[in-house]
Structure 1
């Protein structure tokens, strides 16, 4: 997997799933305004991923025109329990950099599993993505969006209900479709 495949698949997932099913009512505006940074790291271990995370956090500090960053790491933390454990280190980095309360890290993974759910539960697809990634958010922007939303507390239960209605099989197919669409494009480019 290279950047030319990973970013289009991730972007398609954001467009088709996150925005298409309105899982995050705040995402569309930033994507349309081109204020979402998609970046792929070649990190293949936790230390390299922490370095990439630090680089992206500092970039957010230096470049206010970037609203949010999706740090995609297809080679690191493929195993969800390891990924989930790494989130503590990501939060620790925020503390170390004195950025706690300025940024937060949201989590997405192909095998995401909420506590007390079965691995194949449809509701896990609210946080399942084509590749493991860390979503870097500006706290102030998030708070402003939350303050202006009429029912922010209703978002998670609505998303769970929607995922359960659509079903795990359909969501698995949609996620696979994000990958296949970019594979097809990549193959067409090679034949051009």
Structure 2
């Protein structure tokens, strides 16, 4: 898997699914302003991937949000199993605590086989967090708090997203999620 292909496919997903379906109403502006970094990791061990994520956190820390708002860490060579990915997220949370980034950054998670607790794998609502590759979104908490202050009823976002993906036709799902077997 080439880095450029993984980055292109992730940007396509970001544009068509995340922004195109308005699953994240806050993504359009930073995407338009080129403030979203897609950092593709070829790590093959948890240690390598944690080191890669730490470098990305430090880069976010070293730049103003106007220059770099957020980073999508895309994993191409490991964490294909959703349970392994889910367990790895605990390590990322521990990294945030260890590096005193708790309260500064938070993560959002995306995976080709994403499955919310209490759902079946084929449930449409899982599409809201399905991406071409295992992806860890590094988010500035201050930026999130800032945009949430001006967004009416942010608690409705998950329900709106579920309704949006449930309304997709099979043809639309196949077009938007070509990396999934539907």
Fold shared per TM-score above 0.5: yes
- Rounded to whole Å, the distance in 2 between the matches of 1:70 and 1:139 is 15
Cα separation, partners in 2 of 1:97 and 1:167, compared to 1, 3 Å: farther
14-23 vs 163-172, greater mean Cα deviation: 163-172
TM-score calculated relative to the size of structure 2:
0.93
Q: Where does residue 79 of structure 1 map in the other structure?
A: 81
After TM superposition, the runs of 4+ consecutive aligned structure 1 residues lying more than 2 A away are: 167-173
Give 3-state SS (helix, strand or coil) of 2:116's partner. Answer: coil
C-alpha distance in structure 2 between counterparts of 1:168 and 1:44, whole Å: 35
Alignment of 1:1-192 (within 5 A): 1-64=1-64, 65-166=67-168, 170-176=172-178
In 1, Cα distance between equivalents of 2:130 and 2:173: 9
Contact 1:10 1:131 in 2 (8 A): yes
Distance 2:159 2:119 in 1: 14
Contact 2:132-2:179 at 8 Å conserved across structures: no
Q: Distance in 1 between matches of 2:91 and 2:123?
A: 27
CA RMSD of aligned residues (A): 1.5
Deviation at 1:170? 3.9
C-alpha displacement of 1:152: 0.4
The number of residue pairs the alignment matches comes to 178
| Structure-1 separation of matches of 2:159 and 2:21 | 14
TM-score normalised over the length of structure 1: 0.89
C-alpha contact (below 8 Å) 1:10/1:129 kept by paired residues: yes
CA deviation after TM superposition for structure 1 residue 171, in Å = 2.5
In proportion to residue count, which structure has more helix?
1
SS in 1 for 2:103: coil
Give the C-alpha shift of residue 175 in structure 1.
1.6
Query: 2:96–2:102: 8 Å Cα contact kept in structure 1?
Result: yes
